[in-house]
Structure 1
Amino acid sequence: MTDTLIEQATKMGLEGPSILEYVEKQQAIERDERARERDAQRKHELELEALKLKQAEIKAVQKQNAEEVKAKTPRLPSFTEGEGIDEYLLRFERFARANHWAENTWASLLSALLTGRALEVYSRLSDDDAKDYKKVKDAILKRYELTEDGFKKKFRSEVPQEGEGPDQYIVRLRGYLNRWIELSDTPKTYEGICDLIIQEQFLDLCPVDLSVHLRERKPKSLEELGKMSGQYLIAHGRGLFEGARPRNPPRTDQVLSGTANVRVVTTSATSRRRCDRCIQNEAEWCGHCFRCGGSNHIARRCWKQGNAARTPPRDEGSS
């Protein structure tokens, strides 16, 4: 190597000390290059070792998780079609928390317990969504039509079940209310709950077409609800009171007053029964007696059946 460098220096026209200086300088450069190569090779080897260690750690964690899943899952019965899916998911979540399962494993653990339509929903999710328990849960509930509106109706209409105690019924109602609030994306604050109740009251009692219009657009606040409503009513040229629906509307029935039929407002609890003629004509009440079918009198004044002491009514025009 030294001879080669001397030969190169001679060809370059160097002489005496200049040749020695050139050789020493080139040798130093070559030493530095070899040192850099050795450092790069060592760094590469260290990176490979670190990668192998990390892969080994991942495999160990996966093996541990698999063993935990295998040990825990059989303790919870599988979901069966016909069982309440919302109640089952609540039971699954309580079981998972009690056993300190990591929440990022809930989706895969749940998948091993699903059957029927719930399993079909899970199998149709993307790989990323299938790992997210919240997305899996929302997709399953939607498949069983347990949406925001569904939980709202359950909260308002569900009655105690056979064998269910007061505390259990209260817990069930609380669950329906919480799911209604969660699915409506309402903040769990006093103001948020107030806004939700006011909005639902407004949507239930405002004109039907306006209610449909608003439900389709899902206003995020009462201010947005008011703005959308105002724009809709202006566009249709009418006021909010036109078509508003009372929650318990009164019923109108025909009753007899003297010789003329007049319409009076009564509640369903006090409304009169109908005669065969009313039923045949699909009328509320035609003014006939439901006992004998005669006109110009009501059942409690009927003289033909059970009221023989009463005198028959006088027809119009009789003297």
Structure 2
Amino acid sequence: MSELDLYTRYLDLGVKLGRSGEELATWVENKVRQDIERNDRQMERERKREEMELQKQERVMQSQREERESERQLELRRMELEAQKSLNVTPGTPTPHSNYTKPKLPPITEFSQVDLYLERFENYAKSMKWQPADYASCLANLLQGEALSVFLSLGP
């Protein structure tokens, strides 16, 4: 309702109540001011209520984002554990993509047929999904005696 409508309404009501002159004008002014203030307070309450509702919705959305992120982390961890299982690696054991463990092959001896041994090693490395660039450092763990001396003489 507009201010003009409020004045008209209270003026008619004041006249019906028997008010007139300065008393009527003061009474109408007070009533219009009270209505405007009441309306302002009501609008402020509505604004605060809407603001609180928005904050509540933001908290819910943040909680949902955090929950989704937590689920993603759990899924990544689950996939990581499955990958370790498929590689036949137990948790805590380095994976092929980090530190390579000593291969579960017998060490090479002076009596071994080198080409057959290297083929066996390569098959093992492939089954463990090692990177070919890392084969040499893993093979070094299996060398003994003269084979180790030759390998070390090659340098980095």
* TM superposition score normalised by structure 2: 0.48
**Higher helix proportion, which one?**
2
